[in-house]
Structure 1
Amino acid sequence: MEIRCASNPKDVKHYTTDRLREEFHISKLFTKDNIRMVYSHIDRIITAGLMPIYHELRLEGGKELASDYFLERREMGCINIGGKGIIVVDGTEYEMNPRDGIYIGKGNKEIVFKCVEPENPPKFYVSSCPAHKEYPTVKIDITKAKKVPCGSAADCNKRVINQYIHPEVMQSCQLAMGLTQLEEGSNWNTMPSHTHDRRMEVYLYLDMGENDAVFHMMGEPNETRHIIMHNEEAVISPSWSIHSGVGTRNYSFIWAMCGENQEFTDMDGIETRDLR
């Protein structure tokens, strides 16, 4: 498990490109029969990628969490962005087709990830944060997610937000998670931009070609920076930072939030003319 410390916005404005990426960028999330895990001190969120092919993979506790098992004091969400797979939660199997999601609450001890077809392995993208209350496991495929159309073709940001883990879909302690899909011809996300001091966020960009990129905008509104993102790479967004992006073509991204509340509209909007 890789540990990342929180960053002060006064310091971030002096970071080089390499330092920005070192602190906020997460690459190589999905490798054969491996768990890639990053623990951020920003609201103590864990971002993980698991790609079982020939071996089962297990989420476990350990020294970094000071826990006997992974979800002893945590909850988690997972969206499968690869081929068909299976997640076993305390002996119960859940089939995970492409774009299927699942919420697994605090207190579940055995979390196992399996592959069904090695030639087309699953890619399990996991977000986990601390929890103080137990909620039941819920399987959410993309057809059960709440769909929120946003934007317009004229503004190059016509998109659909699929809310998987969200108060209007199911109950969780503090985790929210979903998948946003941009339509062809649109390439801007979350614009006009905003911040939400009471929640941090992590984006995973996907559905991008080998030579495509997203210019992810971050930083304070008057001190913006960018990180270039490629397919299936994630980026950590502190609560004080904007989190917008523009791609070389349309793409999708998974967002995960945790913090003080789950109010999706609790944000501070920023006029585009005020960005620097």
Structure 2
Amino acid sequence: MEIRHATAPDSVETATTAELRDRYLVTDLFVPGEVRGVYTHEDRMVVAGATPLEEPLAIPAWEALGTDAHLSRRELGVVNLGEPGDVIVDGSAHKLGTLDGLYAGRGSHVLLGGEGACYLLVSAPADAVHPTARFSRDSVEPLPLGDGDRASRRDLYRYVWGGGHPSCRLQFGVTVVREGSVWNTMPPHLHDRRTEIYLYTGLSPDDRVIHLLGRPGATRHLLVADRQAVISPAWSVHAGAGTGPYAFVWAMAGENTDYGDLQVVPLEQL
């Protein structure tokens, strides 16, 4: 597990491109037969990747958490980026297709199986136990957002978001950008009370998402490839545009689970 410390907003303005990538971009989560993770002190979230082969993978009890199991004091969100696989929670198997999700509560025992499956894991501290739930992208009603003439049409699939299935601090879901659109949100916005982690998926090897970060009026950017993630602190704007078709998994944790608790940033403030 890699550990990343919280950062101050003014540090972005003077950072080199390499420093920005080291602090906020996660590039190597998915290695066959392994579970790899990053612990960020931004709201103490963990983002990890699990790529099983023939045998299911368990989430390690990483020393950074100080517990004998990953979910001893945490709750977990899982999204499958690859081929169908089984996530086994407390002995019960839940099949996840591409971009399907699963929530597992504090204290659960989780195994991740299915050769060809590729799981994104996000976890956050939890002080209560909530039940396991599976979310199918085919059955969750998407929230359509954006405008075609603004190149921002997208479908938002909310899995755990402050409405529907309960959680302590964690929210997560999937957004699919529609054909012909490029922006994942425009105008940008802030989540003053939450950290957000993005994982971009569905990009071809030659395509990138240009991800904007930083405070309004002092933004920088990252070029993000397929299956790479960005840690976005509470003080950073959220916006990005892709050079080709893509989707992204979003996960948040912080002060509340109110999905609508955000601050829109007018373009003139950038």
TM-score normalised by length of structure 2: 0.97
Contact 1:163–1:169 under 8 Å retained in 2 = no
- 1:263 equivalent among 250, 254, 258: 258
Contact 2:35–2:60 under 8 Å retained in 1 = no
Find the aligned partners of 2:141 and 2:165 in 1 and give their Cα distance. Answer: 10
Deviation at 1:272, TM superposition (A): 0.8
Q: 1:30 to 1:183 in 2, by over 3 A?
A: same
Contact 1:193–1:244 under 8 Å retained in 2 = yes
> 1:48-127 maps to which residues of 2 (within 5 A)?
48-108=48-108, 110-115=109-114, 118=115, 121-127=116-122
Query: How many residues are matched?
Result: 270
2:248 is the counterpart of 1:249: no
Find the aligned partners of 1:56 and 1:25 in 2 and give their Cα distance. Answer: 27
Could you list the structure 1 runs, at least 4 aligned residues long, displaced by more than 4 angstroms after superposition.
none
Deviation at 1:172, TM superposition (A): 0.8
> 1:98-247 maps to which residues of 2 (within 5 A)?
98-108=98-108, 110-115=109-114, 118=115, 121-247=116-242
Partner of 2:9: 9
Find the aligned partners of 1:143 and 1:5 in 2 and give their Cα distance. Answer: 37
Contact 2:12–2:220 under 8 Å retained in 1 = no
2:236 is the counterpart of 1:273: no
Amino acid at match of 1:63: E
Alpha-carbon RMSD: 1.1
Amino acid at match of 2:117: P
Deviation at 1:143, TM superposition (A): 2.7
Contact 1:151–1:159 under 8 Å retained in 2 = yes
Unaligned runs of 5+ in 2: none
Deviation at 1:93, TM superposition (A): 1.4
Contact 2:204–2:244 under 8 Å retained in 1 = no
Find the aligned partners of 2:139 and 2:126 in 1 and give their Cα distance. Answer: 24
Find the aligned partners of 1:144 and 1:40 in 2 and give their Cα distance. Answer: 32
Deviates more, 1:121-130 or 1:61-70: 61-70
Contact 2:162–2:259 under 8 Å retained in 1 = no
Deviation at 1:132, TM superposition (A): 0.7
Amino acid at match of 2:267: T
SS at the partner of 1:11? helix
Unaligned runs of 5+ in 1: none
TM-score normalised by length of structure 1: 0.95
Find the aligned partners of 1:227 and 1:252 in 2 and give their Cα distance. Answer: 17
Deviation at 1:88, TM superposition (A): 1.3
Contact 1:146–1:169 under 8 Å retained in 2 = no
Aligned residues with identical type, % of pairs: 37
SS at the partner of 1:223? coil
Deviates more, 1:93-102 or 1:33-42: 93-102
